[in-house]
């Protein structure tokens, strides 16, 4: 019983007193626990004096409506379905509270935890929005300065793209100038979402001068701080496809951050159509022998000279499934190549001065070069 008397000597409010034993007698609120403790004190020691202003909570639980209005003002017209509450409290207050709870067996919870839970309930009741551990927005209440900070989860949209031109990269240049697949899709998406920025995550990439045809390449667009989440994907797709940019998107759906990792880690065989040229007339027999020699062959490719500044200098083993001749005319041939994901096709053909072994050029016996190259199918 002396512990009860000592407990109220801390001059805490009913709620903060009850929170000292938050893990005891579950099913009650901290305020209810405090009332039970106060009743016990009154029964044995007389009426307990409760301070008008508690130095731990400072009456914060009476101001939930103020924080609600502050949060709604910060959110404004931003679309969201789910939320999570976070908060910042004076570190000295949290330390003082912990000292008191340690004195009584460390069976409580912090004011920060209780505030997040109780304000979360209050916010949900007044907005109809749902709590989530992976929310559209994190609402962080700074109780020291009575301010609100919003952390908005990016919006992720999955799809596939076709690239029917030979003069643009997949992603933006560092200086941000010039067209890219990323910018041609992203600038239109910004209009539809009200976002602050965008980033394209592709399942691999093709060179600037390579077209992406066939069933297209998978991508995920990440949009920072969108104010509109319920995007009309059909309308967005049609605007991109009607923009005469040479970029066409399809199969759009809302996605998650996990999809980025999924498409980045995917390993698909790819089918290419290449126009190959030589300084001399191409021999069908020699080219057929070359293609047959590489069928189901595992080649060694050291990182090409043309990309060595951007990639680690490694030797990669890649399997060539087949190379078929589609057409031969004088000094040019059209061939179809199916290879393992990550194969450098230009270097498979030209040999890259011996960095790809074997290569078509080394087997054919003459220098072969790529005139045009297209990705025509990704074997998903």
Q: What are the residue numbers of the active site?
A: 207
Range list of β-strands (E), 47-195 = 82-88, 130-131, 137-142, 147-152, 155-163
Closest to 343 in 3D by CA, of 271, 251, 237: 271
What are the counts of helices (DSSP H) followed by strands (DSSP E) for the chain? 12, 14
Q: Which two tokens stand for residue 350?
A: 């030209």
Closest to 243 in 3D by CA, of 195, 188, 197: 188
d(CA 283, CA 281): 6
Asked if 337 contacts 271 with a C-beta cutoff of 8 angstroms, the reply is yes
Asked if 360 contacts 352 with a C-beta cutoff of 8 angstroms, the reply is no
Largest CA distance in the chain: 110
Asked if 127 contacts 69 with a C-beta cutoff of 8 angstroms, the reply is no
Left if phi > 0, otherwise alpha if psi is -120 to 50, otherwise beta: which for 301? beta
Using CA atoms of 90, 91, 97, 102 in order, give the dihedral in degrees to the nearest 10.
Answer: 170
Asked if 86 contacts 154 with a C-beta cutoff of 8 angstroms, the reply is no
Task: Tell the residue number behind the tokens 């093709």, with chain if given.
Answer: 206
């Amino acid at each position: 019983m002396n512990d009860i008397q000592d407990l109220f000597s801390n001059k805490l409010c009913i709620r903060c007193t009850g929170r000292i034993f938050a893990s005891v007698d579950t099913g009650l609120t901290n305020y209810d626990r405090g009332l039970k403790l106060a009743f016990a004190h009154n029964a044995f020691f007389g009426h307990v004096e409760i301070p008008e202003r508690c130095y731990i909570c400072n009456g914060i639980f009476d101001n939930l409506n103020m924080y609600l209005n502050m949060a709604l003002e910060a959110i404004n017209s931003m679309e969201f379905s789910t939320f999570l509450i976070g908060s910042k409290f004076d570190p000295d207050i949290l330390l003082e509270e912990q000292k008191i709870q340690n004195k009584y067996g460390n069976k409580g919870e912090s004011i920060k935890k209780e505030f997040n839970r109780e304000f979360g309930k209050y916010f949900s009741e007044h907005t109809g929005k749902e709590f989530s551990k992976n929310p559209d927005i994190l609402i962080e209440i700074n109780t020291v300065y009575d301010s609100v900070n919003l952390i908005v989860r990016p919006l992720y949209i999955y799809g596939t793209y076709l690239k029917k031109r030979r003069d643009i990269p997949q992603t933006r240049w560092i200086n941000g100038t010039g067209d890219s697949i990323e910018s041609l899709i992203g600038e239109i998406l910004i209009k539809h979402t009200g976002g602050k920025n965008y980033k394209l995550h592709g399942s691999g990439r093709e060179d600037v001068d390579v077209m992406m045809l066939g069933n297209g390449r998978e991508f995920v667009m990440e949009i920072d701080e969108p104010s509109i989440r319920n995007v009309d994907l059909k309308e967005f797709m049609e605007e991109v496809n009607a923009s005469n940019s040479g970029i066409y998107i399809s199969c759009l759906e809302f996605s998650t951050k996990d999809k980025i990792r999924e498409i980045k880690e995917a390993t698909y065989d790819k089918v290419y159509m290449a126009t190959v040229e030589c300084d001399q007339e191409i021999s069908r027999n020699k080219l057929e022998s070359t293609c047959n020699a590489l069928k189901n062959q595992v080649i060694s490719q050291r990182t090409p000279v043309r990309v060595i500044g951007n990639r680690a200098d490694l030797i990669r083993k890649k399997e060539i499934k087949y190379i078929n001749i589609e057409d031969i005319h004088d000094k040019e041939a059209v061939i179809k190549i199916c290879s393992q994901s990550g194969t450098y096709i230009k270097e498979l053909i030209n040999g890259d001065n011996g960095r790809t072994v074997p290569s078509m050029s080394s087997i054919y016996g003459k220098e072969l070069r790529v005139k045009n190259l297209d990705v025509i199918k990704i074997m998903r």
